[in-house]
Amino acid sequence: MQCFIHKSLKKEFLYLYTVSKDDFSAIPEELLTNLGKIEFVMELELTEDRKLAKEDASKVLSSLITKGYFIQLPPTTKAS
């Protein structure tokens, strides 16, 4: 499946995967507001066995198919 990755300029390391470039119609309005300005980063062919840096590809695919988008949240820091 072809997917498009955008980043939030408001929240560092927060990424939005969509099935169409610059089409945010599947994203709930409240979520879009919280993301702030969004910038296109890259396009890629996503398969279940593709290795992604921070996410499980099958989880991303499932979300794209069912919801039309996937949100990659920033990494959490562990308290010492």
CATH fourth-level superfamily of 2-72: YcgL domain (3.10.510.20)
pLDDT digits (tens, 9 = 90+) for 62-71: 999 999 999 9
In 1-80, which ranges are continuous DSSP H helix?
29-35, 57-66
- Count the Cβ atoms, other than its own, within 10 Å of residue 20: 13
pLDDT digits (tens, 9 = 90+) for 2-52: 999 999 999 889 999 999 999 999 999 999 998 999 999 999 999 888 888
Structure tokens at 66: 């069912």
